[in-house]
Amino acid sequence: MVQKAIELGKSAKAKAIRLDVLSGNYPAERLYRKLGFKYVDTVQMFYENTGLTDFLLFEYTL
């Protein structure tokens, strides 16, 4: 799915793909890093199902 998002971003001439990962979701962090995403920052965000929680921000430059 992530690879398809990268392909779609490239075909749309997007500059980057950004995503956030729930802090502590190590399998997702490893996957995104392996695919070439770079860690940008950690921020706190509020979602109904998690409350106020740390999220790691990643970016893939196209």
Domain ranges of the chain: 2-61
Tokens matching residue 62: 């196209």
Look over the chain and give the mean of its residue pLDDT values, rounded to a whole number.
95
Give per-residue pLDDT as tens, 15-36: 999 999 999 999 999 999 999 9
Q: For residues 1 and 5, what is the distance between their CA atoms, to the nearest angstrom?
A: 6
**pTM beyond 0.95:** no
2-61 adopts what CATH topology?
Aminopeptidase (3.40.630)
Please state, for a pLDDT cut of 70, what percent of the chain lies above it.
100
pLDDT of res. 44: 97
